């Protein structure tokens, strides 16, 4: 059994999830890395160990409730406890007007962006209560914006925010919050730039492409540092809130704890 903080991170094979796991490693945390790509997971796990953390890679599709339960069980088997969840796995597709969106694709988006966090929280809630744990749900500015052709993603993230508020209201021993990671240079942004033709309004596509061309996308390491700090140290008064990654209450202590470089 470990006495270190134990964190489950979903979507941990790349982007924000992988970067958050690396920051957690620098704090000496034990991390269960959850994603569908076994090869990428193993690479991130090796990097976590090199940085001083402890890693367990668990290949799973978090839209499956049984897989989420298994992620909790394997974490307890390996580390003996769970202190925090980082629900980061997400998909932006389908990109299509509501009238043209395939129902199964819309459902899949809701399963990943909304139901997966519910499944993982539900499976881990007893452990989180026991250790006054934390739930960090990675949301999006899309939760409060009406973006044409991105209905499932917007809806899922808006619902995730409110699910987190209800969780915070119900669970006095658990600190639950959502965080907006900003506009990040990840595969999701690449999808918006490259796969939205004939689906998204031309000015919307141009906006996403200009972000990349102008160097205005945030590198994953910056919001991931805030996410890692929240997973380890978010104060109880944050519970139920939708927070920006660059909120000084988060970014300043995160920089003090982790430093500037990953």
C-alpha–C-alpha distance, residues 259 and 262, integer Å: 8
157 tagged catalytic? yes
Structure tokens at 62: 């978090």
Q: Report yes or no: 135 and 177 within 8 Å, Cβ to Cβ.
A: yes
**CA angle, corner 110, sides to 108 and 114, nearest 5?**
135
Catalytic residue among 84, 139, 151, 239: 139
C-alpha–C-alpha distance, residues 24 and 181, integer Å: 17
| DSSP H stretches of helix in 62-174 | 65-79, 103-110, 116-130, 151-170
59 tagged catalytic? no
245 tagged catalytic? no
Beta bridge partners of 33: 9, 57
Q: Report yes or no: 93 and 191 within 8 Å, Cβ to Cβ.
A: yes
Catalytic residue among 84, 109, 140, 153: 153
Q: Report yes or no: 176 and 117 within 8 Å, Cβ to Cβ.
A: no
Those residues with Cβ within 8 angstroms of residue 125's Cβ, 6 or more apart along the chain or in another chain: 171, 174
Catalytic residue among 119, 151, 157, 239: 157
Residues taking part in catalysis: 139, 153, 157
């Amino acid at each position: 059994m470990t006495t270190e903080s134990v964190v489950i991170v979903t979507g941990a094979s790349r982007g924000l999830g992988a970067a958050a796991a690396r920051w957690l490693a620098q704090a000496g945390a034990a991390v269960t890395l959850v994603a569908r790509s076994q090869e990428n997971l193993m690479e991130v796990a090796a990097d976590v160990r090199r940085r001083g953390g402890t890693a367990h890679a668990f290949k799973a599709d978090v839209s499956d409730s049984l897989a989420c339960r298994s992620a909790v069980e394997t974490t307890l088997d390996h580390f003996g406890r769970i202190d925090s969840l980082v629900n980061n796995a997400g998909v932006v597709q389908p990109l299509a007007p509501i009238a043209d969106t395939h129902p199964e694709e819309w459902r899949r988006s809701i399963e990943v962006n909304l139901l997966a966090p519910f499944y993982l929280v539900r499976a881990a809630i007893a452990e989180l209560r026991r250790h006054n744990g934390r739930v960090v749900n990675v949301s999006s500015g899309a939760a409060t914006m009406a973006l044409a052709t991105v209905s499932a993603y917007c809806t899922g993230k808006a619902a995730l925010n409110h699910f987190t508020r209800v969780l915070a209201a119900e669970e006095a021993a658990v600190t639950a919050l959502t965080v907006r990671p900003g506009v990040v240079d990840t595969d999701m942004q690449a999808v918006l730039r490259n796969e939205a033709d004939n689906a998204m309004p031309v000015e919307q596509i141009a906006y996403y492409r200009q972000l990349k061309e102008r160097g205005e996308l945030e590198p994953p390491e910056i919001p991931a540092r805030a996410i890692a700090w929240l997973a380890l140290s978010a104060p109880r008064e944050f519970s139920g809130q939708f927070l920006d990654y660059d909120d000084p209450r988060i970014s300043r202590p995160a920089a003090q704890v982790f430093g500037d470089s990953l």
